[in-house]
Amino acid sequence: MALYSDKVMEHFLQPRNVGVIEDADGVGEVGNAKCGDIMKMYLKIDDDIITDVKFETFGCASAIASSSMATELIKGQRVEDAMQLTNKAVAEALDGLPPHKLHCSVLAEEAIQSALEDYNRKKKNA
Ligand code: FES
């Protein structure tokens, strides 16, 4: 069996939503100390709906595919729904990740959580 599913390969080779949102409403950056990979998420939010999302990932193929899939999953969602996104949902949407690569999808979950927390913090202080 191939190590990676077709979906992982597709999102790795043609990642969706790569880039930066200059005037983002929430930004989150997380890293994994063990592998050294870093993921940064930018969210544009209107009326508690995620209208745009972009990411920059310096990492492995699974991290890039996970970021890409995670952005697709939360785009158009309400903030409270996006908060519920789990790495399991990201991995499932990618038709699975090898067990030693599951932490890459955890990074995507954490990056989105961190960007949403940043948004909530800014909203509170506005
Ligand atoms: Fe660490 Fe993929 S190997 S995020």
Residues 72-123: tens digit of each pLDDT: 999 999 999 999 999 999 999 999 999 999 999 999 999 999 999 999 999 8
Who wins on pLDDT, 2 or 53? 53
Q: Please state, in angstroms and rounded to a whole number, the distance separating the CA atoms of residues 106 and 81.
A: 17
Ligand 1 touching residue 32 (CB < 6 A): yes
CA-wise closest residue to 72 among 48, 86, 45, 54 = 54
Q: Which of 104, 105, 106, 110 to mutate to test the pocket of ligand 1 (most atoms within 8 A of CB)?
A: 104
Q: Which long-range contacts (CB under 8 A, 24 or more apart) does 85-93 make?
A: 85/109, 85/112, 90/66, 91/66, 93/7, 93/69
For residue range 111-123, list pLDDT tens digits in order: 999 999 999 999 8
In this predicted structure, the answer to whether residue 2 has a pLDDT above a threshold of 90 is no
What's the pLDDT at 100?
94
Could you tell me how far CA 104 lies from the centroid of its own chain? 10
What's the CA-to-centroid distance between 121 and ligand 1, angstroms?
28
Confidence of residue 126 (pLDDT cuts 50, 70, 90): confident
| Token duo for residue 4 | 């990676």
Q: What is the CA radius of gyration of the chain?
A: 14
Q: Is the pLDDT score of 56 beyond 70?
A: yes
Of the pLDDT bands very low, low, confident and very high (cuts 50, 70, 90), residue 125 is confident
CA of 52 to the centre of ligand 1 (A): 25
Domains of the chain: 6-125 (3.90.1010.10)
Ligand 1 contact, 60 CB (< 6 A): yes
Which residue(s) pair with 117 in the sheet? Answer: none
